[in-house]
Chain A
Amino acid sequence: MLKKVLALTLALAFVTALFTACKPAAPPVPYGGVIKIGNVAPMTGDIPKVGEDGDNGVKLALDEIGWELKVGPHTYKIEYLLEDNESKAESAVAAGTKLIKEDKVLALIGCYASKQSIPLGEVADREKCPDISPWSTNPRTTKDRPYVFRACFIDPFQGYVGAKYVKDVYGVKKVAVLYDVASDYPKGLAEFFKKSCEELGIEVVAFETFTTKDRDFSAQLTKIIESGAELLYTPQYYDEVPLIVRQAKELGWDKPIFGSDSWAGGDLASLCGDDCVGYRFTTHYAMVGATGRTKEFIDKFKEKYGYEPSDVGALAYDAAQILLEAIKNTGGLTGDLEKDREAIKDQLAKIKEWEGTTGKMSFTPEGDPIKCAVICEYNEEHLFEFVDWACP
């Protein structure tokens, strides 16, 4: 008898407990109150410094809002997931797929170089997950991909501005181009530069290539010297620029060398030393001679990480802020991942006249911002100094 009473009481207690637990409470905060944002960056491989700067830029933007964001009625904690793409296209695809499908991030930042950004953009668009690339300037990254955006200007624009600057300021008639044919970014930019040169009446007398990891460019440079070119354009990364510049000088080249924004990403100063002094390139922002919002950002970045940010850091910071702005502008999340991703995409496309550290920008329907380019010079203290604005 006693046993039966005990059993009955216990059963009752269980049932009551069960009911209490099931009592309808306030509706839960979507995603358990956590917004996940992914970043796919080249932390190892060819351009690790780019990855490091990108990671730091995004983290700085998140620090500023205390890793919390109020979207509609709720305040969410932000969870930041960094994935290494090893500077390889395959790894970028794998990392992006993992973030989108397994980690279920709301939106992605990345990749950085076009070589990885183009394939990542394809994955993001197919899976309908918004993605902002801070640094990829090849048009294919965002072309016909409504879910893919970028924080920087694109290669055709940079190639055009570069060619125009070469014509107006250097006043040369014959140019040579040397680039890595196996990498999307240099290849794209070299071709756009060539096209713009021809439109502007500059003759491209040598159009020479090499492949990634090549260290000796003497054959190509000798050809360039023999072609009678008056300027060498080389849209390469900090990996090759010091070697190209040095070998060109050793082979007797004494004319200007002109570059692109990839010169500024990474550690060119310590690798190139005095060899690069006096050469100029088109880029997104200048550290030396910065004012206003850009200066504020540089100071904050320096205080936190102990070194000056490259353009990658600035663009990653801008990309993260634009993304946060767009998430905020959705006016509230539903908890339905697909719907929320779409809402964020729509809000990104609506961003207009947004004041970033790399200039004021508005998005075109293709997801590319409209903004001005900066002309920088590698000065005697090995810093990238602002010389000029170049607007379309």
Chain B
Amino acid sequence: MTLTGFFRYFASALQWGSFYALIAIGYSMVYGVLMLYNFAHGDIFMAGSYIGLFLCGALLAISAGGLISMPAWLILILTIVGAMIGTSIVGVLVERLAYKPLRNAPRASAAVTGMMLGLLMETANLWGLGAERRNFPSLIETTVYNIGGVSITNTKIMVVGVALAVMYILHLFVHRTKVGLAMRGCAYDFPIVPLMGVPMDFIASATFVLGSSAAAIAGVLFCISYPVLEPYMGMLIGWKAFIAAILGGRGSIIGAVFGGYLLGFIEIFVAAIFPSTLRDLIAYSIALLILTFRPLGFFGEPYSAQLRL
């Protein structure tokens, strides 16, 4: 591999890893606070993409209708913010309707509920919107920069930049705010924290709001990069991001980010070095090996000890 080649793959891996990382955060936060594998998270990501699609379409129509003329960057920001709000509502609904009644049930029941919810959301989308592919409008004119033979687009830079910023803000939120403190408390000792007067329902909802918002941002950015939407788009990437979350360490935000980028890099570089047919075979063998030697992932700690958030 030449040096130019290396940087070409590196740029792709950064972008691809950003999506895994943003989605993995949602898995990790919910696990950390509620001890719950939210298997519907991939489909919350899908919901975020579709909400973004419709918002973006509506805003473009309003803008084109001459009612209020908006520049593309404003539409993009409004789309992302709107998608975050919409997806948070979906996330909180999921939590309230499906997970809350099972908060003290065996964890397997809760996990299975997540899977069923995921299927429910996929089929509801299929039923409501039909199976046709939808095209996400290109909000930003793609510009290709050629830096020493490495082609980088403005969207790629934006994706990585926004993803890193979001992760940093989330990290700050969890460490600098009162709600964040309560979340970390739950992660530390789930049964005791409510006894201290922390409203559990609020904390659970807040966790879902944060996770779903990250998924919504991932969804809109994903659609800008890969503008073909379909009801099952969240399934595969959801599974893989879950693997990333586990690789990074259950319940750890830093771990999720690390795991996401790690998985992105493994996938891209394995495809670069080996025949691409063997990509997932080799990439996930590596992931398996990592877990064999580090069963708790990179930043995870045993169940009884402190779980990092």
Q: How big is chain B's contact interface, by range?
A: 35 or more
Closest chain A CB from B108 CB (angstroms): 27
Judged by a CB distance under 8 angstroms, whether B144 is at the interface is: yes
A206-229 vs B, CB cutoff 8 Å, 1 = contact: the mask equals: 001111011110111011011000
Given contacts A219-B268, A222-B272, A44 and B131 within 8 Å (CB-CB): yes
B5 in contact with A239 (CB, 8 Å): no
How far is the CB of A271 from the nearest CB of chain B, in Å? 5
Q: Is the CB of A251 within 8 A of B126?
A: no
Query: Which one, A216, A225, A250, contacts B142 given CB within 8 A?
Result: A250
Choose among B228, B233, B268 the residue with the greatest number of A CB atoms under 10 Å from its CB: B228
Please, which residues of chain A bring their CB within 8 A of the CB of B2?
226
A171-B129 Cα distance, complex, nearest whole Å: 45
The residue from B222, B228, B236, B268 contacting A218, defined by CB atoms under 8 A apart = B268
In the bound complex, do residue A270 and residue B135 qualify as a contact, i.e. CB atoms below 8 Å apart?
A: yes
Contact, CB under 8 Å: A251 / B277: no
Asked if A306 is at the interface (CB within 8 A of a chain B CB), the reply is no
Q: A213-B236, A218-B16, A219-B272 are in contact. Are A242 and B228 (CB under 8 A)?
A: yes
A240, B230: Cα distance in complex, Å: 12
With A and B bound together, what is the CA distance between A363 and B153 in angstroms? Answer: 51
With both beta carbons as reference points, the residue of chain B lying nearest to A268 in the complex is identified as B133
If A216-B16, A239-B228, A271-B135 touch, whether A223 touches B272 (CB-CB below 8 Å) is: yes
The interface bits of chain B over 262-289 (1 if a CB of A lies within 8 angstroms of the residue's CB, else 0) are 0000011101100111011000000000
Q: Are B132 and A215 interface neighbours, CB within 8 A?
A: no
Residues from chain A with Cβ under 8 Å of B146 in the complex: 252
Q: By the criterion CB–CB under 8 Å, are B272 and A267 in contact?
A: no
Residue numbers in A under 8 Å from B130 (CB-CB): 48
What CA separation (Å) do A249 and B276 show in the bound complex? 20
A49 interface contact, C-beta 8 A: yes
Residues 132-165 (chain B) with a chain A CB within 8 angstroms: 132-133, 135, 138, 142, 144, 146, 151, 153, 155-156
Interface residues of A (CB under 8 A from B): 43-46, 48-49, 181, 208-211, 213-216, 218-220, 222-223, 225-226, 238-240, 242-243, 246, 249-252, 266-267, 270-271, 273
> B residues bordering A, Cβ < 8 Å?
2, 5, 8-9, 12, 15-16, 126, 130-133, 135, 138, 142, 144, 146, 151, 153, 155-156, 222, 226-228, 230, 232-233, 235-237, 267-269, 271-272, 275-277, 279-280
